[in-house]
Amino acid sequence: MIPKSHPRYESLRQRELLVEGYKAGATALEGLIAFGRGEAFDYLLGEKTPDAAVEAVRAAAAMLLAAENPVVSVNGNTAVLCPEELVKLARAVEGKLEINLFYRTEKRVKAIEGILKGHGAEKVYGVKADAEIEGLDSRRRLVDREGIYSADVVFVALEDGDRTEALIKAGKKVIAVDLNPLSRTAQTASITIVDNVIRAVPLLLAAAEELRAMDREALNRIHRSFDNPSNLRKSLSEIIHGLRSMASH
Amino acid sequence: MIPKSHPRYESLRQRELLVEGYKAGATALEGLIAFGRGEAFDYLLGEKTPDAAVEAVRAAAAMLLAAENPVVSVNGNTAVLCPEELVKLARAVEGKLEINLFYRTEKRVKAIEGILKGHGAEKVYGVKADAEIEGLDSRRRLVDREGIYSADVVFVALEDGDRTEALIKAGKKVIAVDLNPLSRTAQTASITIVDNVIRAVPLLLAAAEELRAMDREALNRIHRSFDNPSNLRKSLSEIIHGLRSMASH
């Protein structure tokens, strides 16, 4: 156990969750490397939610609430980093939870399903994976016919660029959480939240609860007025600004 | 096996080395996360050696050649990423190779010793670890009396800030390879090479071979004229410049 007083408590706790997740069979070894990449980008953000992400979160909440069949996609890293919040998010937007893995094995699917159910999920999609997304070579193509396959809006976090592109090509809207505003996922998604998933998902949940009383027309106005390329430029400026100010200390 | 034609061949090959290293018992799970952090910073460098690093490499080679008892410190990540080059570097500067691990276990020490001997090392220090560096809580304090304990110059790569500080406090010069010019290691070391270890070690080896005919006075002039804080500022400028140019594409 890491003492809460440790200056790097939050970061070390997340690292511990990932290592435990690997040992529990939920997280892939490659997921640990991907997590490390995220740590570096989060460091550049000063481990704080950028102002640009707050705007993106509001648009994302509106888009999820206005959707016909929204799906919250879960992978090995997000399942161990913020399972409870993902379960609550799917419930708040009346959406489905679906497991979708790059390094998909039955063992990992079962481990993640167990984690999500342990955090209150009633139904978890993606266990049987009876449909495919076209144009995707990786095992990420395997989806649930009633879940991602028929979704109009998919929420993804810590995603690969190929899948984001394939989902967009399949006519879906994609909301991504990605710490690198220059990544292919960030550049391709309909709405990109440039933030650590561990901060972004609770913010998104809070925004969904705040906006849920609105009618669809008002929700559509909110997310349609959001400009993703311009928001990504703002995030990048915040990163460069942060680097400059770290350099001058 | 990853095909050589893959646009991300070099990066994916390194990732594969780490995953294999973990399975072989040499690399720690936390080493995979640290590697991911490195990937992100290398991405910011455009996966190329910055000009500033070329200057640092020359100074580092001169410092190692001028040393009385230089030691090349090896950890789980460097042992799987560039074992042959580390063995050759120690030989080129007439130095010692020593295993030093944060997550030190007998099993890992043995696995790394096996890798280094398999790449031509005759003697590997740090296996018995019969001395301690003061002011260090982690297992990195355990060193070899004839190795790091009595070294005047220590070469470290992918290092933690606590250890770099403790080595400097123990009166040693530290040459570090670190992709983050703002890290505590980068800021504390005598000479910091801001580059990927997989590119930096071969460059350092080539520089050592080029300078080895020089006398000690000439070598001392080279490394004494090197200004680490100013070199770190140059590396940081190159990173910020790279981010800006990626952003405008």
State the DSSP string of A8-32.
Answer: THHHHHHHHHHHHHHHTTSS-HHHH
Nearest to B105 by CA among B27, B220, B184, B164: B27
Predicted confidence band of residue B229 (pLDDT cuts 50, 70, 90): very high
| B88 in any annotated domain | yes
Taking the model in full, what pTM does it have? 0.90
Q: How many domains does chain B have?
A: 1
CATH number at residue A151: 3.40.50.12640
The verdict on B125 touching A (C-beta cutoff 8 Å) is no
**pLDDT at residue A10 in the model:** 80
Joined together, the tokens standing for residue A197 give 């998933």
| A35 in any annotated domain | no
The verdict on A4 touching B (C-beta cutoff 8 Å) is no
| B5 in any annotated domain | no
| B131 in any annotated domain | yes
The verdict on A103 touching B (C-beta cutoff 8 Å) is no
A5, pLDDT greater than 80: no
Percent of chain B, pLDDT > 70? 97
Residue A201 burial by Cβ neighbours in a 10 Å radius (0-12, 13-18, 19+): buried
**pLDDT at residue A7 in the model:** 63
B189, pLDDT greater than 90: yes
Average pLDDT, chain A: 93
Strand partners, A125: A98
The verdict on A27 touching B (C-beta cutoff 8 Å) is no
Task: For residue A74, give the 3-state DSSP assignment.
Answer: strand
Between CA A62 and CA A226 the distance in angstroms is 10
Domain that includes residue B99, residue range: 51-240
- Lowest-confidence segment of A5-19, B36-50, B211-225 by average pLDDT: A5-19
**At a CB cut-off of 8 Å and minimum separation 6, what does A215 contact?**
none
Task: For residue A158, give the 3-state DSSP assignment.
Answer: coil
Who has greater pLDDT, B135 or B71? B71
Predicted confidence band of residue A93 (pLDDT cuts 50, 70, 90): very high
**pLDDT at residue B3 in the model:** 66
**Best mean pLDDT range from B22-31, B153-162, B216-225:** B216-225
Provide the shortest C-alpha distance from residue A6 to chain B (in Å). Answer: 14
Predicted confidence band of residue A6 (pLDDT cuts 50, 70, 90): low
**pLDDT at residue A233 in the model:** 94
| B3 in any annotated domain | no
A165, pLDDT greater than 70: yes
The verdict on A34 touching B (C-beta cutoff 8 Å) is yes
| A71 in any annotated domain | yes
A131, pLDDT greater than 70: yes
Predicted confidence band of residue A247 (pLDDT cuts 50, 70, 90): confident
B2, pLDDT greater than 70: no
**At a CB cut-off of 8 Å and minimum separation 6, what does B1 contact?**
none
| A24 in any annotated domain | no
B1, pLDDT greater than 60: no
The verdict on A180 touching B (C-beta cutoff 8 Å) is yes
The verdict on B16 touching A (C-beta cutoff 8 Å) is no
**pLDDT at residue A118 in the model:** 97
Closest residue on chain B to A246 (Cα): B182
**pLDDT at residue B242 in the model:** 84
Strand partners, A131: A143
pLDDT digit string, tens, across residues B104-128: 999 999 999 999 999 999 999 999 9
| A6 in any annotated domain | no
Provide the shortest C-alpha distance from residue A243 to chain B (in Å). Answer: 8
A1, pLDDT greater than 90: no
Closest residue on chain B to A34 (Cα): B36
Joined together, the tokens standing for residue A10 give 């939050």
CB contact under 8 Å between A36 and B32, yes or no, is yes
Strand partners, A96: A71
Across the range A15-28, mean pLDDT stands at 93
Residues of B in contact with A236 (CB under 8 A): 243, 247
**pLDDT at residue B175 in the model:** 98
Q: Which of A16, A22, A32, A248 to mutate to test the interface with B (most CBs of B within 10 A)?
A: A32
Provide the shortest C-alpha distance from residue B32 to chain A (in Å). Answer: 5
